[in-house]
A and B are shown apart, each in its own frame.
Chain A
Amino acid sequence: MIYVAIKMLTGDRVKYLGIIAGLALSSFLVTQQLSIFVGLMSRTFSVITDITQPDIWVMDPQVKNIDDSRPMPSPCLYRVKAVKGVAWAVPLFKGQIKARLPSGSGYTCTILGLDNETLVGGPPEILPVDGHPVRMDALRQPDAIFVDGPNAKEKLGGLKPGDVLELNDNRAKVVALTEITQGFQALPVIHTTYSRATEWVPGERNQLSFVLVKAQPGENIQALCNRITADTGLNALTQWQFKSRTLWYYIRNTGIPINFGATVTLGFVIGIAISGLLFYQFTMDNIRHFGMLKAMGAGTMQLIRMILVQTGISGAIGFGLGMGMTTLFKEGLGAITPRSQQVMLIMWQTIAITGTGICVIVVLASLFAMIKVIRLEPAIVFK
């Protein structure tokens, strides 16, 4: 009877395609919007993502997210270093600075000042210059900076290694371009040394944004966080905790989740409305045939299985097409604006959520049809 169910479903091409299209559109909308949402939200903690060496980030207790740096007094670094279980602790400066380009135009950039000695906190990838790899040490050259490649090209007038620009009236020389995770504000990111960054950025009395900490081997990270907080009065978070705090700050304090949530809900409703109603209509159109099968001795469970096969197949094909459409959308976006493509982050969790949503739509559509068929009087065939 599975065979009969499939032939019944696919025989009416228009309705079949309508059901599939509704499910595919729903699947596409939900996945695409969720992927953009996830991609956008993951950008809020891009700096934390890119700095992988430390286990722990130490900050002022009032800090709410990575962009909300509240400078601490310099001695805080030594207090953290003194905590038992700390292998090393280095300073990190994070601020904003105005860049004046050779053309005379200006642009606000994020500047990261890395520990002078260790250069911990550098970009995940430094692009080769003239085919030669560039090491982190290049930052030790006079006035040296790294600039993130895509932004150097798009926003900073095509800066390239060797170019000179002004950062708050200070001469800065680009020694290499970098590949980094794009940030939420999409500002160009400049890496330089801690001392240079704190010198260039118009200062407050305190300039230590974060202390990056590596735990000694075998040390329990959470226990060390607790110890640092207890000993110094500062807030110590694991990388994951700091990401989470940043993410939730943006979720709670911006309208982004509501906007994306509304579109995702819309996608779900479209799925229910189009596919659910079309499938119900499909069942009603075939109600006489279901009645005939019932009269001929088909059991209720047989008919329910037929309906589940019909909705299940529609759901699976619609879901697959929706995923395909999402991938094509992402690739298409990449062909037009490569950096926009990065906004979409298709995670397996997103696919699972969409799959669950499609299952709910399919179950609801099946339920309406099943109720109709279960209550169906087979005597309808003689009318």
Chain B
Amino acid sequence: MVANRQLAVRCADVDKFYGKGGARTQALHGCSLEACMGEILMLVGPSGCGKTTLLSVIVGILDTDAGDIEVFGEHVHAMNAAQKARFRRKNVGFAFQQFNLLPTLSAVENAALPLLIAGEPRRKAMQRAGDMLSTMGMPEKLDKLPRELSGGQQQRVAFSRALVHEPRLVVCDEPTSALDGKTGEAVMQQLRKVALRADRAVIVVTHDPRIYHHADRIAQMEDGHIVQVTMPGDANHPQGIRH
């Protein structure tokens, strides 16, 4: 499958350490992974195995200590901080575990953040964010503050924010861990429907087995490296729990 598709992300033998001296610990240990355009790749594994660290180094918000990372053919870690910021602004959409919506901004304003960061005029940014929220099934909630929304609605706003600027790579960190099963299933269906395109890759870090069936491939991590990558139909593909 990987051989037939265009690569979005390629990590090769990546090492990452935290701390210094006696407190130094290795979070990634010769970690190699490929993510392709047009797929949802899930990174799964026990807590502390390095999933979030790998996600962070892929998008350049953490530096690596060894190895090579290419995202859309560009060596992110060869860039300086300003270039990395520009690269993320243009190419990466984020959805976080706790949604991380700004509590004082309305749904549409939160969703418009990537466009505002990119310098798009406010009116136009709000228009596009409103359209994205409508696509995500929330046309009537544009002016609501996050505290006025349910968990599922907040995650849809977060997905809208991740997708509004049409990034080529969408990274989601535990997107359903704060949601009940039904809501989690609904937002994942929405994510698949709206986010997945032939020219876009989606990487989801999760240890929520309820959403495994949404993955095109699942990469299992243990102790800082990928132990296996499977596809539906493979004998050892994690089955997950369906609701």
**Which residues of A are at the interface with B, using a C-beta cutoff of 8 A?**
1, 3-4, 7-8, 10-12, 288-289, 292-300, 302, 377-379, 381-382
Contact = CB atoms under 8 A, between A and B. Distances in A.
Contacts of A382: 52, 55-56, 61, 96-97, 173
Contacts of B96: 292, 381-382
Given A4-B109, A379-B62, A296 B104 contact: no
B114 A297 contact: yes
A291 to B, nearest CB: 9
B92 A297 contact: yes
A7 B94 contact: no
Contacts of B105: 4, 7-8, 11
B100 A381 contact: yes
B88 A297 contact: yes
B109 A7 contact: yes
Interface of B: 52, 55-56, 59, 61-62, 81-82, 85-90, 92, 94, 96-97, 100, 102-105, 109, 113-114, 116-118, 122, 173
A299 B82 contact: yes
Contact of B85 (A11, A288, A294): A294
Find the residue from B52, B102, B105 having the highest chain A CB count within 10 A.
B102
Nearest 6 pairs between A and B by C-beta? A11-B104, A297-B89, A297-B88, A378-B61, A382-B52, A292-B100
Contact of B117 (A10, A302, A377): A302
Contacts of A294: 61, 85
Given A292-B100, A297-B114, 15 more contacts: A4-B116, A7-B104, A8-B104, A10-B104, A289-B102, A292-B96, A297-B89, A297-B90, A298-B89, A299-B86, A377-B62, A378-B61, A379-B56, A379-B62, A382-B97
23 contacts: A1-B117, A7-B102, A11-B102, A11-B104, A12-B104, A288-B100, A289-B100, A289-B102, A292-B94, A292-B96, A293-B113, A297-B86, A297-B87, A297-B88, A297-B89, A297-B117, A298-B85, A298-B89, A300-B81, A300-B82, A382-B52, A382-B55, A382-B56
Contacts of B56: 379, 382
Contacts of A7: 102, 104-105, 109
B102 to A, nearest CB: 5
Nearest to B62: A379
Nearest to B96: A381
Given A1-B116, A4-B113, A382-B56, A296 B103 contact: no
A297 B90 CA distance: 8
Contacts of B94: 292, 295-296, 381
Contact of B114 (A288, A296, A377): A296
Contacts of B87: 297
Secondary structure call for the B interface: helix
Nearest to B93: A296
A14 B61 CA distance: 33
A15 to B, nearest CB: 11
Contact of A3 (B85, B92, B116): B116
Nearest to A295: B61
Nearest to A286: B102
A297 B82 contact: no
Contacts of B103: 11
A296 B117 contact: yes
Nearest to A12: B104
Contact of B118 (A4, A297, A377, A378): A297
Contacts of A289: 100, 102
Nearest to A4: B116
A8 B118 CA distance: 18
Contacts of A379: 56, 61-62
A1 B122 CA distance: 9
B89 A296 contact: yes
Contacts of B109: 4, 7
Most buried by B among A3, A4, A377: A4
A12 B104 CA distance: 7
Nearest to B90: A297
B155 to A, nearest CB: 15
B81 to A, nearest CB: 8
Nearest to A11: B104
B88 A295 contact: yes
B106 to A, nearest CB: 9
A296 B52 contact: no
A44 B116 CA distance: 59
B104 A293 contact: no
A285 B52 CA distance: 23
Contacts of A297: 85-90, 92, 114, 117-118
A12 B56 CA distance: 30
A299 B85 contact: yes
Contacts of B114: 296-297
Nearest to B205: A382
Contacts of A300: 81-82, 85
A381 B90 CA distance: 19
A1 B56 CA distance: 24
Contacts of A3: 116, 122
B117 A298 contact: yes
B82 to A, nearest CB: 6
Contacts of B81: 300
Contacts of A296: 88-89, 92, 94, 113-114, 117
Nearest to A292: B100
A4 B62 contact: no
B163 to A, nearest CB: 12
Nearest to B102: A289
Contacts of B100: 288-289, 292, 381
Contacts of A12: 104
Contacts of B116: 1, 3-4
